Amino acid sequence: MNIVVCTAGSPCLPIMEASVKHYAPTATLNIFRPAPATFGEVYNAAMTEVFKTCDEMIVANDDIVLRPDTMKILMEDVNALKYHHGDKVGMVATRADFVRDSQHIKHNDGSQCLQANAVSPLFAWLSKKAFDVAQFGPLNWYSDDVICEDLNELGFKNFISRAYVHHVGSQTVGIDYNKLNNDALPWLQANRPQYLTKWWGWK
């Protein structure tokens, strides 16, 4: 399994690498250090390159740490979902301790794999078939919401796995939440206004 990480040099990266080496030793870790751009832009470019030689991969942040059973449980869930939903499985993401509410361990005990409109790809499986029809928005914030909502529109289903990763929190795109939010709005208004209506009731 290929794991794709884009990084500008997070101090957490060595720990992330070590956890993959110890807990997912058969995985191939592809680390890209692209020129500065948005999360969506750099991951789309990296995934396009890696998908030339594989049909599925895991998208990962540079600020997460795997548990011993993360990969095992994630792939068990992915295989079960592919059995039930075939090629229409979208993104399958792990739970974490610093993440959107639906994936947060405070609200999700991991007792079952759950369908979700959108997931955050801290450590998330995705197929080439899904990526060929929907990619991350060219944004830092909401790039994950865009790909998930686009997949929903095309009949794919996104899921939260029972698997867990520890997430240090906001090392990848920063912590200036107002700026991240405001930077995304012009693109969303121009390209996905229907999602602004859906998320916040904008007209």
Q: What is the residue-wise DSSP string for 51-120?
A: TTS-SEEEEE-TTEEE-TTHHHHHHHHHHHHHHHHGGGEEEEEEEBSSS-GGGBTTT--SSS-EEES---
| Highest mean pLDDT out of 4-8, 11-15, 99-103, 123-127 | 123-127
Total residues belonging to the chain? 203
Strand pairing class (157-167; 89-95): parallel
* 39 domain residue, yes or no: yes
| Residue 146 belongs to a domain | yes
pLDDT at 196 over 70: yes
Average pLDDT value over all residues in the chain:
93
Which of 104, 110, 105, 148 lies closest to 130 in space, CA to CA?
148
Q: Does 174 score more than 70 pLDDT?
A: no
Write out the residue range of the structural domain in which residue 139 sits.
2-173
- Identify the pLDDT of residue 199: 87
pLDDT digits (tens, 9 = 90+) for 74-119: 999 999 999 999 999 999 999 999 899 999 999 999 999 999 999 9
What percent of the chain stands above pLDDT 90? 81
* 202 in any annotated domain: no
Task: Give me the mean pLDDT over the 8-26 stretch.
Answer: 92
- Per-residue confidence (pLDDT) for residue 152, from 0 to 100: 97
Arithmetic mean of pLDDT, 7-26: 92
Residue 164 lies in a domain: yes
CATH number at residue 150: 3.90.550.10
Q: Is 168 helix (H, G, I), strand (E, B) or coil?
A: coil
Q: Does 11 map to a domain? A: yes
The CA distances from residue 169 to 2, 11, 99, 175, in Å, are 23, 12, 8, 9
Q: Give pLDDT, residue 201.
A: 82
Count structural domains, the chain. Answer: 1
Q: Is residue 191 part of a domain?
A: no
Kindly give the pairing relationship between strand 56-60 and strand 2-6: parallel
Neighbours of 91 (CB within 10 A): 26
Distance from chain centroid for Cα 13: 17
Examine residue 203 and state whether it is found in any structural domain, yes or no.
no
Over range 116-139, report the average pLDDT: 97
Query: What does the pLDDT read at residue 76?
Result: 98
Residue 104 domain-assigned?
yes
Mind listing the pLDDT tens digit for each residue in 60-70? Answer: 999 999 999 99
In this prediction, residue 175 carries a pLDDT of 63
